[in-house]
Structure formats: structure tokens, C-alpha cells
Amino acid sequence: MTVKFIHTSDWQIGKVFRFVDNATMGLLQEARLRSISRLGELAGKHGAAHVLVAGDVYDMEALSPRSLNQPLERMRGFSSVRWHLLPGNHDPHRPNGLWDQLLRKGLPENVSAYVVPEPAAVENEDFVLLPAPLFHRRTLDDLTSYMDDVDLPEGIIRVGLVHGSVRGFGSDDRDVPNFIAPDRPRLAGLSYLALGDWHGQRQINDRCWYSGTPEIDAFDVVGGGQALLVEIEGPNAVPAVTSIPTGQYTWVKHSEQIGSHADIDHLAEKLRGTADELDRVLVHLDVEGALSLGDRQYFQEKIVDGVSAALCFMRVDDRRLFAKPTAEDLDRIDRGGFVRTAAEQLKQLADEGDGDGGIAAAALERLFVEHMKLQADER
């Protein structure tokens, strides 16, 4: 007897990415739907008849009918795969909530939603699912505890499906919302416990894994953009668990110190070497250092205006990138007169570094940039 399935979680369909423009947000939202098709394709490729979704199918409870139905239609298209859905903390099962709406309407024949914590026999298979749906966004109860007392025939493979947080064994852990005992597989005789909630893939023990989200959704997620292929040869066998890539988009954090024209060129080369398909890369760039006003403008043109156009999205944090105008810079603004006097006073304030130093540096930079624009218009 061998059971094979794909373990995934945290699709969060309908997620809103407020830090990007509407066009980019549309791409990221579509990628989350495309990941469902990718999971269906992978199930067929690896001969897995089931896909287990360990919570947070949807990002929120209040969604349009279109947003509710889009993932269902994707799953419907893979009729040879059985999809098993669990309410999570973003989409808990509440009376007359989204899961009741979907169940009243009727799910596709190959889709099951588990809104009751009780064993569910899987048709034509030698395993039983033990789901632990969430009914609230946060609970202090370990919803997997019922699994310890479930009486099933010998030889049946037990697979738990739950959404929550695993910690250690200390007494304080019981105060963690949506707590899951990490030794639940041993206590309940589970062959495997499929976890959702953490967006990065992680092994807790031989029988307990977080799958991670199939599409990364934040710059601090480590190990996302994946799912797990799980093979269990019998109730006492240790599962064979294989990570499989699913994500389309790469999210990268870069921290760089720059102080010259050459540093900016090196940074541009590094960013362009991040991936083969730069239009599927999102970058959060932290830069620090001191640049002349000329190099500061070059950074704007080369990195902010240039490289970012090759990427899906780039966010630049330049709060620690300071302007250090040279005498040549000041000469380019004006060699005399009130404009030069203002520039020298701003430079003095910026160099003193008191409470107004940052404002003065920004004003000096703006004065230089506007002067360069004016010169360009006069050519």
C-alpha cells in the first residue's frame, strides 16, 4: 500500500499587495491562481492523486463571487486530481461565512472542503484524513488534540491536516494562538501531519512539515514558492518527502553600500544578474553611503529609473544614502550669486549633521537636480 499526495498551503487567493501599482498587483494575483494549475500539473507528473491544502485557501472572508470561484474553476480543470481544502486563520469557517456559501452552492466533484474536525475516509484509498479546521482567526486550543482519540482500523494510514503554529514543549507555548503540538504525529499515530501557516517550507520532524506558500508574497519569506510531494508506503513507514518548486516570482532583498560611480555600475550589474527572467523578480534594495550630487543623480538614472524597468518591481530604501556635494558640484550649480550662496549654506548645514542636516542635504540635492534639468532644457 502506497499513498502519494502533494501537500500545499497558504494560497491566499484575493491577497492585496498594497505596496505595488495596480498592474503589478494584477500579475501577482494571477500568479497565485496560476500556482493552482501548476500544482495540478505536478500532481499528474508525479502520479499523485491528491492535493492537500493546509489552510488559507483564501486571503480574507469578504471576497467577490469571482474571487471565490476562480480557484475552484482551476481545480475543476484537473478532474483526475482530488483536492482537499481546509479553513485557515485568514478564511476560518463561520456560520454563513464563505465556506457555507461554497458548500451551499456546491463544490466541483473533485473538490472537498473539511469544516468539521472528524475523520474523513478518502475514497478508493487506504488512508484517512484527520482535518482540524479553524473556526476563528485565533484560538488558544490545540485543534489537533481530538486526533489522539480517533478509533480507526489497524493498517489505515492516518494523515492530519491543520493550520497553525508549532513551537516547543514549554508551558508558555499554550498561549500561542492556533498552537499545534509538534509531537502530535506520535500521540495520534499519524503517518504524516500536513501543516499550513508559515509561508516558508520547513521540516518539524520526520512526520510533520510546513509546505510553504506556492507563491512567495513578502520579502522576508524564506523557502517559499514550493510544495511537498509526500509518499507513504504504510502506516508505520517514515514518509518520503520531496520539495518541488512551484513559484513563478522571485523576491530578493539586497543591502548595498555605495560611494562612487563605479559602485553604482557594480550594483546595476549585480541586480541584472539576479535571474534570467528579470520581469519575474521583485527587489527590495537597501542602500547606504555617501555620494556626490552628480553620482546621486547617476544612481537615480542607472538604478531607480534604469534597472527597475527590467524588474517586475523594485522598492528602494535610500534613507541612509546621503549627499556629499563636492566643490565641483557647487560650481555646476552656480559660481556666484544668491543661488551659490544658498547652496553653500545648505552644504554647511548638511555637514554639521544636526536636526536640520537631513533636510538641508535633501534640499541641496534637489537644487542640483533642478539646475541640471534646467541646463538640459537649454541645450
Every domain of the chain and the residues it spans: 3-245, 250-378
Per the CB < 8 A criterion, the answer to whether 203 and 16 are in contact is no
Per the CB < 8 A criterion, the answer to whether 157 and 191 are in contact is yes
**Mean pLDDT for the chain?**
89
Q: For the chain, what percent of residues have pLDDT higher than 70?
A: 91
Segment 99-115 shows an average pLDDT of: 95
pTM as predicted: 0.85
pLDDT tens column, 71-90: 999 999 999 999 999 999 99
Segment 143-151 shows an average pLDDT of: 89
Segment 41-57 shows an average pLDDT of: 96
Segment 266-294 shows an average pLDDT of: 93
Torsional class of 96: left (φ above 0), alpha (ψ -120 to 50), beta (otherwise)? left
CATH superfamily of 3-245: Metallo-dependent phosphatases (3.60.21.10)
CA-nearest of 103, 184, 175 to 139 is 175
Torsional class of 116: left (φ above 0), alpha (ψ -120 to 50), beta (otherwise)? beta
Segment 240-265 shows an average pLDDT of: 94
The per-residue DSSP string of 155-212 comes to TPEEEEEEESEE--SSGGGGGSTTEE-TTHHHHHT-SEEEEES-SS-EEEETTEEE--
- End-to-end CA distance of the chain: give it in Å, rounded: 79
* Distance, CA of 318 to chain centre: 23
How many other C-beta atoms lie within 10 A of the C-beta of residue 117?
18
Phi and psi, residue 233, nearest 5°? -90, -10
Binned at pLDDT 50, 70 and 90, residue 292 comes out as confident
